[in-house]
Each structure stands twice: as C-alpha cells, then as structure tokens.
Structure 1
Amino acid sequence: MTRRGLADLRTALAGLDPLPGELVRVREEVPARYGVGARYARWAGTPAPPPTGPGPAVLFERVVPGGGGAARSVLIGLYGSRRRAAGLLGLTPGAMAHRLLDAVASPVAPTRVPAGRDRPRDLLAPDLTALPVPVLTDEDAGPYLTLGAVLATDPDTGVRNLSVHRMCVQGPDRLTIWMVPGRDLEAAHRAARRRGGNLPVAIHLGLGPALMLASCCPASLVPAGVDELAVAGALGGAPVELTECRTVDAECVAHAEYVIEGELTADLVPENPDGPAATPEFLGYQGRAHPALPTVRVTGITARDGAILQTVSGPGHEQSVLLGFGMEAAVLGRLRRAGAPVEAVHCPTAGGGQLMVVVQWRAKRSSADDRLVREAAVSVLEEFRMAKLVVSVDEDVDPESDADLWWAMTTRLQADRDLAVLPDREGFPLDPTQSTAYSAALSADGRTAKAHFDCTVPYAQRARFRRPRFTEPAAEPETVAPPPVRISAGPSPHAPRR
C-alpha cells in the first residue's frame, strides 16, 4: 500500500478497494442493533471469542439505525491488522514506532481552512438515534460510539486534545462519556467547570489514518503541551485542516465524515440504569457500567454527503492495534533515552496492545548486558502503568511471531532464574485479575503483580544457542545446451498415411 489515506477516510478506502481481500463491501440491509457486530465477529481477531481471526475492513453500505430512518454506511475493521494499519501510511508495522517518535519530535501545526473553501457539509438535527450507531450484544447499555475522537481545547492552557473515549447514547441528544482518570480531556473539563461553564467539544466519526493513530497515542508518548493534531500533521506529512463548528464555539477537522457538536457538562448519570454491563472491552471481557458518568449535550451534527460512520468492535485486533503502536513508540523512546541497546518493541494484540510488551534487544557485547537487559525491562514495568508483562528476546527472535515467542520462552527461560515478579504495583482495573477478589496479595483493586520473562541468552553461553542458518546453493554456471538429437525408428504405426 502506498501513502494514501493521509487526507481522509475515503482516500484510505479507495486505496484498499483494488487490493484483494483488504476491503469487503456488504450491500444488503443490516440492522445497527447486533447486525454489524455479529457479522464482523468472525473477522475481529483475538481477544474476540473464537472462532475468529484477523480479516478485512468491512464496509456495511446499508445499516438501519436503531431509531429507524434511512440506512447509512458503517465501516469496521479498517485497523484490523497491523500490516494494513501501517500500510495506510506507507509503512511497515516495525517502522511505525520510529515514525511516531519522529512525529512527536517534529510536530506540524494544523491550519484553518479559509472562509468559503470549506468542504460541503450538511447540518443535521441533533438526533443521535438517526445515526447507525451499533449495539454489539444484548447486554450492552445501548448504542456506543467506540471510535469517536473528541477534540477540545483546554481553557486554561489553550492546548488542543484529540482522544478517543467510550460514549453511550442515552437519548436523542445525550451521551455519557467515560474519561480514563488523568487524561487531558478530563483536565480540560475540570478547567471549564472551574470557570463556571461547560466544555465545547467536537466528536469526530470517520477520520483519516494519521489522525486516528495520533489520537490513540498515550500521554507517556505525547508530552503535555503537544497538540495531537500537530503530531498527526507530521505523521501524515501535511497540516491537518480545521474549520469552525456550527453550533458551539469549537474547532473540528474539516474532512471528518460526521462531527457531533456539543458541550461536556457536569451532569452525572448512570451509564446503564438497567444493569451492570456496558459494552465489550478491548481486553476481551464484557465491560462493567459506571454508576455515574459526565454527559455530552449534543447541539448539532454535521456530515459529508454519504457519510460513513466508523466504529470498532470492543474485543478484537483493531482497537489493540491502534493502542499498540503508540505504546510501542513510548517504550522505545523511553529505553533509547536511557541508553538501553533496544532493537524493537512490539505490543501484541492479545495483551490489548498495552498490557504485554515484547522487547527485542541488540546482540550483547559483554556479561554486563545480562544485567542491563533485566534492569531496563523492570524499568518499563515500573514506569508504564499499563504494562503487566515484559518479554525480552534476542535479535534472532521475531517479536511479531507468536510461534517464535513461545519457542524462545520454552528454550531460553528457566523460571527460577529468568522470571522476575514485581508484586502489588499500580495497574489497570479492566483486567479482571487486578482485584482483591482475585488475589489477596493486592492492596487494592486496580493493582497487579507484574513480571519480566528474560528469554535472552546469557552472554557467556551464546555459543550454545546458535540457530541454524540455511545456505542457498551456489548458482551453477550457465551452459549452452546442444540441439536435441533426433533418432528415427521408422514410421509410427499411428502416423497418417499419404
């Protein structure tokens, strides 16, 4: 794939259309309630429940909204494989972390679209029930925006933030929003409340790949004061174009398929008044509803002609791929700044792209590197709250191959000397083992034991662990073959007679 998809979602899809097996179009009518999720589940990939496996992006062209009305398009699975997600930017998966680090170091500021040059957009009624927002399971609290990128400006600092959050449709013009504590959007919301007002927001559904990948970068990668839109501009090779919202005092991305305009208020309502479940989460389990969440009051919706609503299935490769690239870049940057001899970092989708980190180390130069690898790996567990497991491997192990990782763990690890456990560290409560109900050794819910699996070969024993190298046979010199010798043995009994 070439570097298409930098401008908008439709350019990305146009680049996939001619490639076999990359984009499936479903033209029959499908209900937003259960239909999209159930059909895509076979392609979602782990941690979706089996049988499943990574598959194509799927564009459902006629999805009927839960509230009735005209069928609209829904896209799911665009980032369902690391190869395709990176390819949308003209990169390989292994190059993504390096490109993200470069983008953070050299951001490209967004620009404002001049008046009169805006892309045509329709102003729709502020009615979320008219949109084809999927409901995945019969336990869900309702329709969820799972890939809504929220753009807001902190009124105290003036810094923009673009980030993705779980949002449940609670009515025609109401959304609940779960902001993970400590994130920039929460800080901007609190700043607005201190000033006695609501926070204007623009929620984007259907953005170009550079923007989506930038919006999923962790705070450990993008420092405070750095605009994610500027990171996206550097990642995509061109400034992001902004325009004014129609119904609130806020900016929005000009090329977005849908923009839901509104205000993040102080009103708190239960995410699911009727039960404990929310919607499936990226670690593969049914999410639990929050008893009280802030709400977004929708003031207007704008859309391009024939707009495509982009979504993800909670459990599956796609969300983990989006989260994993940013986590890889953050860990790679941290280790490089510390002078560690790291070659590559990979965050498998089985760990949600964040809880499991595979670090590939350069060839050891002395026995001192044995200790350096272990100390650096432990530092990742200590400094990255989400990281639960770190697996260290040598240069001759492919960090993106599950088979190679299991081979290394089987033949290059002795648990009594190569496994380090860090008890009772700050963790991530969506992992159901990170609770006092699971382990009495934990001091509180959301804490966890962490572990480093050192599958690197000790420097002094490296000669015992050599993998075979298969040699290509030497090319034989070209010779000119003599003309074939024809031997006549008389006429064939089957030859035609003259």
Structure 2
Amino acid sequence: MSVTENKSVRVHDLRSALELLKTLPNQLVSTDVEVNPHAELSGVYRYVGAGGTCMRPTRVGPAMMFNTVKGYDNFRVAIGLLASRERVGHLLNCRPEKLGSLLLDAANNPISPVVDNGPAACQEVVHLASDPDFDIRTLLPAPTNTEEDAGPYFTLGMCYASDPETGESDVTIHRLCVQSKDEISMYFVPGRHLDAFRIKAEAAGKPLPISISIGVDPAIEIAACFEPPTTPLGFDELSIAGAIRGEAVKLTKCKTINERAIAHAEIVIEGELLPDVRVREDQNTNTGKAMPEFPGYTGEAKAAIPVIKVKAVTHRKNPILQTCIGPSEEHVSMAGIPTEASILGMVERAMPGKLLNVYAHSSGGGKYLAVLQFKKSSPADEGRQRQAALLAFAAFSELKHVILVDEDVDIFDTNDVLWAMQTRYQGDVSTVFIPGVRCHPLDPSQIPEFSPSILQPGTSCKTIFDCTVPFHLKSHFERSKFLEVDVKRFLPDFV
C-alpha cells in the first residue's frame, strides 16, 4: 500500500477533504441525478463503494457526492468518505498500513481544542426551533438506510457534551433517529462517556446540553471513535484530531445552549438531552427495527431511549450533509483504526518491539476481529504471542476474536492470513477459548439459545487463533524465496 502526498491541498474540513479526493484517481464520484434519501441513496452506494459487512454484491470503491436530493433543494449529501483504508491514508497523509501507529502517536501527544470567538463557518445560516415553521425533518436530508428503518438517521454526527460536575468534554458518534420536528432519539451502547454525563445530569433533574456537528475534518471522525482504556472518561478525543493535524481543533459557542460545536462543521444541531424522557425508537414506523449496524444486521429498535430536544440548527451556505452506511467499510475505518492504535499501545508497553502491527479486520466491522503480527526472536518469546492477544482483549473490550500470525504474513491480505491458518494452525492445540466475557451487544450470536456457555445476552466466548509457528520449528516453515527484481525495468507503468 502507498499514499500519494498532495501538499497543494491541506485537509482541515470536509470541503478540503473533498477537494483532495478530486485530485486523486478513483477516489470520488458524483451525480446530478435526483436521489431519494429514503432508502435509495444508501441503496445506490451499497453497490458503488460500501464494502465492509454489507450484503453482497458490494465493493470497496470511491466516495460519492449526491448533488440533487429529492425534497432538499439546498443540500448535497456526501457518503463513503472513509470507506477505504487507502482513502483514509490519503486524507490523513499516512501510509495505510501505518494508520494505527499514527493514531497511537496522536493519542500520546494530544493537542487540546480551542474556542474561537470569531465568526464560525458552521453558523452562516441559523434556524431556531422557536420558529413556528421549524421542522428538522424537512430541513435536513437525513437518509433512511433501508425501507425497514425506524426513520431517518444521522449516522455521522459528532456528539459533543460536557460532564456537568467536572466540565470535562467528550466527542462520540451515536445512532440518532429523527422522531419529530424537534426531537431526536439517541441510542447509547452501555459504557459510553456521553451517557455517563447524561446520567449525572438526569440525577440532578437537569437536561444535558449537546451539540451534533455533521460534515467535519475526517481526522475528527476517526479520533471520535477511540474508547477506554486509551481514552478514559474525561479525555477529549478532539485533542487526538488536533495532534493528527498538528494544530488545535477550533470550537465555537453554540447559539442556544451552553455548549460548543466544531467551528468548521457543515451542519450543527443544538439541543438538550431531556431528563427522565424516553421514546420507543420505531414509534413512527412500528417495524421493530432500527437501522443497519456494523455487524451486517439491522439492529432492533429499542423500547425506551433518551431524547434530544432540538433548539436550533445552524449550517454553512450551500451545506453538505455527510452520512455513512452502518455496515460499510467506513465503520471499519472509524472504529478499527483506533482499535489498532489501542492494541499497539497496550502491547508495546508490556513487551516492546514484539508486536509489529495490527489490523482490525473488515469482516468484524473494525471491532470483532483483530489480526496481530507478532515476532518471536528467541525461545523465551514462545507463549508471549498469546499474552499479546490477551492484552488486545484488555485494550479493546468489544474485540471477540484474535488471529496471531508471524512477521512474514501480510495482515492486510486475507488470503495470506488464511494461508497461515491452513499451514501453521492445528485446531486442538492452536485455539484458546475464553468463555463468558462481555462483548459488544450488537453481535446476534450472543444469546443462550446459540451456546450453553452464554448465561446472559451480550457475553461471548472470546477466542485466540494462534497461527504462529512454534519457535523451535521456524526453520521448517520458511516461505519460498524469490529473486528480488526491478519490475519497472520490464513494465515501466507497473504499480
């Protein structure tokens, strides 16, 4: 893999990111044909470039811009900006195979965001919810991914809120369903930091101010997906994005709530998470389903989840709404690359120099499966590869499976990983089962009906597949060595 540096375009927001992609072959396509945001928009991109765990046929392809959205004359919709590891490399100016290391370095050297008191691009146009004509459903073209969805969803909203006791802030991405003209439901996976803030505010009987910034610098979208222990409660992930870019992310004060938003965002929704108010997620459709989630299945609609009361919507002139498909490669990039950074950091602290690289594999949506490239240098290293796998589970609690391979295996080439499994793995001695461990709640196999080892939904049998060669046998497993040649001498255009 390689990345082409284009110093003429400095990426600092969504628009500059799109400008960069325009200079690169096969990274961005657009259409002026009118598209319906209800199911059709996502249906088109499923074929063009969704990839990930989407039902086949799909593929990893270019990002896409829809210039004409039915019912929304002033909006364009961008999708798939991060739905390719190669494209993420271009956007972050980093070789794709080194993205985990880039993010780890950024997490270790954060640059805190700053408040800019000047005019903010995200507030060029202001719509107040107190206006009798205000209706978020007709104002913003939130897509409905499938015809079964509970409703239109904002899938790439950078949700920003602050601890009501300490004032510490956090940014995360959540499932946001439009419920009425001024209400949005918000689903929290247990343990999310913004939910901890909400619980504190609710205990005090107060709403929690929250801003939702849509259409931002891709560095922010990836940084927002870090999780503990790399980013504990009180760690503002915007500081990681600042470190990636080498300058602080600029925030602006919201118009109607006591919170801040990302100043360069295309769109900002200002609101409050209401105390002791819950809604049924599919109250408008009664489908029993929410939206397609990263494992490739449609999540069930939740019976009672918190509600955001919208106070205002602000946006740039000629705004672009950015969205993604839940099971697409975009989720793999956003969730998986921070996962790789967290695992690299945890293992490096325990055994420096042994873990060479990590890939949070597409088939697990960037969360369930990690491939670890481990180097054994002496007999004393035998067994430490499995210790590295255990540390990976500790670094990222939602990880379900780890595949361990040697340094001569390309972890980004699934065929090579499976080759290692076929020739360096024996199921009875190379598999480690760890049953009864809490995992991610969206895995549909985590039910007692699937396995007697699952006592409660949401726990898994985490598994290590050790596809490394025992150190004392390494000489018997040397790959065939081919002559190193300069291919360009024979094929000058060879890439």
Q: TM-score, normalised by structure 1?
A: 0.91
Following the alignment from structure 2 to structure 1, what is the Cα–Cα distance between the partners of residues 145 and 104?
Answer: 35
Which residue type is aligned with residue 17 of structure 1? K
State the partner residue of 1:228: 237
Q: CA deviation at 1:442?
A: 0.9
Offset of 1:119 from its aligned partner? 6.5
Alpha-carbon spacing, 1:100–1:382, altered in 2? closer, same or farther (3 Å)? closer
2:138 is the counterpart of 1:133: no
In structure 2, relative to structure 1, the CA distance for the partners of 1:88 and 1:263 (3 Å cut) is: same
**Which residue of 399, 413, 416 maps to 1:401?**
413
Pick aligned residue for 2:65 from 59, 69, 86:
59
Alignment correspondent of 1:93 = 96
- Confirm or deny: 8 A CA contact 1:183 1:219 kept in the other structure: no
Going from structure 1 to structure 2, the CA distance change for 1:157 and 1:6 (only over 3 Å counts) comes to farther
Which aligned pairs between 1:280-291 and structure 2 lie closer than 5 A?
280-291=292-303
For residues 159 and 210 of structure 1, the distance between their equivalents in structure 2, rounded to whole angstroms, comes to 21
**In structure 1, what is the Cα distance between the partners aligned to 2:39 and 2:387?**
47
1:366 matched to 2:378? The reply is yes
Q: Which moves more between the two structures, 5-14 or 139-148?
A: 5-14
In structure 2, relative to structure 1, the CA distance for the partners of 1:17 and 1:338 (3 Å cut) is same
CA deviation map 1:426-469 (0-9, x unaligned) = 11221111111211221110011111111111111111111122
What's the offset of the Cα at 1:471? Answer: 1.4
Matched, 1:165 2:168: no
Report the counterpart of residue 493 of structure 2 in structure 1.
Answer: none
Aligned amino acid, residue 263 of structure 2:
A
Matched, 1:123 2:126: yes
| Deviation per residue, 1:345-398 (Å, 9 max, x gap) | 110111010110111012x22222121112221343355321111001111000
Looking at CA atoms only, which structure, 1 or 2, has the larger radius of gyration?
1
Shift of 1:272: 0.8
Aligned partner of residue 97 in structure 1, secondary structure: helix
- Distance change in 2, residues 1:180/1:120 (3 Å): closer
Query: Match of 2:323?
Result: 311
Q: Is the 8 A contact 1:5 1:89 kept in 2?
A: no
Mapped partners of 1:474, 1:24: distance in 2:
34
Alpha-carbon contact 2:410-2:417 (below 8 Å) kept: yes
Residue 348 (structure 1) aligns with: 361
How far is the alpha carbon of 1:116 from its aligned partner?
4.9
CA–CA separation in structure 2 for the residues paired with 1:231 and 1:300: 28
Structure 1: state its 5+ residue gaps. Answer: 476-498
Given candidates 172, 194, 203, the residue that maps to 2:212 is 203
SS in 2 for 1:224: coil
Q: 2:42 aligns with which of 27, 37, 46?
A: 37
**Cα pair 1:25 1:60 within 8 Å, conserved:** yes
The answer (yes or no) to whether the contact 1:6–1:210 under 8 Å persists in 2 is: no
- Contact in 2 for aligned 1:5/1:13 (Cα 8 Å): no
1:7 has 2:12 as partner: yes
**Matching residue within 377, 383, 401 for 1:389:** 401
Shift of 1:244: 1.1
- Provide the C-alpha distance between the structure 2 equivalents of 1:303 and 1:430, rounded to a whole number of angstroms: 33
Aligned partner of 1:323 among 335, 352, 359? 335
Matched with 2:490 is none
- Taking a change above 3 Å as real, the CA distance of residues 196 and 393 of structure 1, as seen in their structure-2 partners, is same
> Which string of whole-angstrom CA distances, capped at 9 and with x for unpartnered residues, describes residues 125-145 of structure 1?
442112111011111000011
The AA in structure 2 aligned to 1:354 is: K
1:445-456 correspondence runs (5 A): 445-456=457-468
**Other-structure match for 1:485:** none
Give the letter aligned to residue 251 of structure 2: L
Aligned to 2:132: none
Provide the rounded CA distance (Å) in 2 between the counterparts of 1:151 and 1:442.
Answer: 35
Deviations 1:311-335 (A, max 9, x none): 1111111111110001000111111
Residues 279-288 or 190-199, more deviating: 190-199
Task: Supply the distance in 2 between the matched residues of 1:473 and 1:173 (Cα, whole angstroms).
Answer: 64
- Equivalent residue, structure 2, for 1:238: 247
Q: Do the aligned partners of 1:247 and 1:261 also contact (CA within 8 Å) in 2?
A: yes
| Residue aligned with 1:31, SS | coil
Residue identity in the other structure for 1:167: L
Which position in structure 2 is the counterpart of 1:270?
280
Contact 1:80 1:317 in 2 (8 A): yes
TM-score by length of 2: 0.92
- For residues 395 and 83 of structure 1, what CA distance do their matches in structure 2 show? 22
Deviation readout 1:84-114 (Å, 9 max, x if unpaired): 1122010012222222122122111222213
* Paired residues of 1:37 and 1:313 also in contact (CA < 8 A): yes
**Residue 46 (structure 1) shift:** 3.0
Q: Which amino acid aligns with 2:61?
A: G
Q: Which residue of 1 aligns with 2:492?
A: none
Match of 1:111 in 2: 114
Hey, what does 1:176 align to over in structure 2?
A: 185
Quote the Cα distance in structure 1 between the aligned partners of 2:199 and 2:21: 41
| Contact 2:122/2:265, CA 8 A, preserved across alignment | no
In the TM superposition, residue 416 of structure 1 has moved relative to its aligned partner by: 1.0
Distance 2:157 2:394 in 1: 31
Where do residues 288-307 of structure 1 align in structure 2 (5 Å cutoff)?
Answer: 288-307=300-319
Tell me how far apart the structure 1 counterparts of residues 458 and 486 of structure 2 sit (CA, whole Å). Answer: 59
- Seq. identity, %: 39
2: CA distance, partners of 1:474 / 1:81: 29
Long gaps (5+) in structure 2 = 130-134, 488-495
